[in-house]
Structure 1
Amino acid sequence: MNIKLNQSQANQKSEIKVTGSKSETNRLLLLQALYPNIALENTSNSDDSEVMAKALTQNSKPKTQNLQPEIIDIHHAGTAMRFLTAYFATQENREVIITGSPRMKERPIKILVEALQQLGAEITYEENQGFPPLKIKGKKLSKSKVSLPADISSQYVSALLLIAPKLENGLELTLEGKITSIPYIKMTLAILNDLGFEASFVDNTIAVKPKLIIHNSKFIIESDWSSASYFYSIVALSDIGTEIKLSSYKENSLQGDSVLSEIYKNLGVETTFENHQIILKKASDLNQQSQILDLNEAPDIAQTIAVTCFGLGIGCHLTGLHTLKIKETDRLEALRIELQKLGANITVTDDSLTLEVSSVTERNIAIDTYNDHRMAMAFAPLALLTDIIINDAEVVSKSFPDFWNDLKAIGFKVEKQ
């Protein structure tokens, strides 16, 4: 399905309820599988979280010599691949093969597999060394010390931390090198601590103590800040006075992407926290200077920011983006190709993006999405400036299934093709 977005104007005032954070939900679903006394509210309705939940509740059969391993297909869900690899490594007497889409089979997982093997896990590669699919024979892991490079993906770290309380002797994890996406690691640790687990992070060492059971506990999941980014972009590209109210959000958020409220100040958007909601208001014309930002701790909002700057006719230099090369697509290259279609002057390297001052010069351009939900949503706000087509628009269901309906609700002209 493609979506045609005819040039639109956002309503002066709108209100949207955003689904629960995918990042928080997937962490808590895994913990809930390990500790069933955990109750969850405001879980994400994203494809990724549904895939995660399905895999965790898939019927397991006692292993005998005559039974084939269970097949767990996580499609495009990278977080699920990392988290479930760690989870199934701890499930005694279970044997599974975790697989996914063709793109998933190109996304590296060797660092996590080797870390789990240091703990005693039994994991082998079914096809290419270092990549899914994986065959995992679950077993009791009694070793407790492990180290891994921390400059590739914070999801490897979080995967280990989430299973740590269930390990017989807990976990002492040493991170080597510069740590990527620290807020996501801190999110995992904060969730563990909020639920009563003992976890500490000192220098480059994280320690989690074992805990066999926890008492009944309820966790209310905050809405997704990454999803909020597209509304920040819309407000930034709208007339002064435009307001969008989003729920449910916390001023002391665990999510690294909450840095949006600071970044978008320079793009003319003011954020007010009020009764678990955020009110985004186009308060002024933007600071005309090019934006220079290190997004090492919030790389998922890079696409949104680059498109916003292009729409505003200003430049930007974004760094700390090395993890974007191994996402659903090579997001840096995808951004370069699609922004150039619209008239942008943009260059990318392995870890940065530079957008020169340029403006929209083309109309009715079809934007390819590369099986990447963030490509579809990051480009949609440009419909405030020109007619645009989003190819394979259903890809948004990976993280934000209601996105196109929510755009209609705030005044966008959305046509299915």
Structure 2
Amino acid sequence: MSLFYSTFRGYLTSQDGRALGALLNPTRSDVSSFAYSSNHVSIRSTVSKELGGISSFRNGITDKGQKAWVDTVVAYWEVVYELERGDTGRQIGDEGDMGYWGRAYNKQSNLTTSISRGFANGGWPNWLLPVLYVSCRYLRNFAILADEEDKKDGKKAEKLEDAARYLNKMFTLCLSDRAPLEESRKWGTYYIVNLLFKTYFKLNAITLCKNVMRALTATTTDMPPLNAFPKSHVVTFKYYVGVINFLEEDYVAAEENLLEALQSCQTGSSKNQELILTYLIPAHLMTTHQLPTATLFRNYPRLQHLFQTICNTIKTGNLQAFDKALEAHEDDYVRRRIYLTLERGRDIALRNLFRRVFIIGGKKTRIPVEEFRRAMGFATAGKDGGTRKEVEPEEVECLLAGMIYKGLMKGYISREKSMVVLSNKEAFPGTGV
């Protein structure tokens, strides 16, 4: 017990917010001794005695701030007590028939509330923001575990939704601070925003992210510039904004934000780079109609498994193989929310098929629709019992018109002569022919 308090006092005196946040991590490996150091009857008096008279409380922390620390350490003890002792430490009549993680979540929510009061009412300085970060992170983690527990027991899973409301309050706590920037809680805004985004994605409530983004936009004049925040906050924020743009089918904005996230990502963070590239690759395909290089896939084997086959089919214009590749990875694509975007890659595959017709025909600018129809038949062969599929001329004309309308081909269709007349400068923009 004395080790916890002496360590706590040392970090408070040295104003080491990061270390203090780590000390209040409820899953620390050495937390057991603190959990068993007291009981519900005496914990508050013990904490008050241990923290009373700390000189650092008079160094930027008011009397109200000192009381908030007593509340916070007591709340922290209740969290670790619940985690370590589980049902054996449960008081009769407490929290109904709530499960282990549900009770832990409730205790963690109390801890988060105590910390927020320390900032809002106790005048805690902003170097203590890492304490808030740790509390919010574990609030979300415990909520997820509690929901999984409730689902197994046939109960309604609603802890994560509750956690999102707490996180929204912490977002407001940081964003609404009116202290001078050097002392402001605004420096914690993007960390909390990223946790909110992560939570909304988990809840499949991505539209709520727009409310957060609007709130940020409305306070840009009072906020430090984004590039002044820690790089880890910026990379995560840009990633989520890019994914939101991606899901809204604004692929230009998605590519811009995801590329910024990738360029700022740490070199050794291959997992984070893969997450960014999972959306950047299809976004880039939509904006430029270009496929990733073999070098990229060699550096990221997971992405190679996810995209290599479908990229090969797009490159060769093999529509049958494209459909099979899309079907083979359907579960992965749907889970990552990229299925519909990749499905649109069929247009690029069709463009490449028609381009091959153009090249094989000697790059003549006048090509009968019938040649495109035959190519379509071969490209879809095997879908119906392994036989060549006959495609109606009207369907081919419709597809060709679509290619021209989308800017994937330059030219026009002469229906009287059943002929496609292509541009003699760049028949297939961006492909070099």
TM-score normalised according to structure 2 size = 0.25
For the pair shown, the structure with the greater C-alpha radius of gyration is: 2
The structure where helix makes up a greater share of residues is: 2
Structure possessing the higher relative contact order (Cα contacts under 8 Å, 6 or more residues apart) = 1
Larger strand percent: 1
- With the length of structure 1 as denominator, give the TM-score of the two structures: 0.25
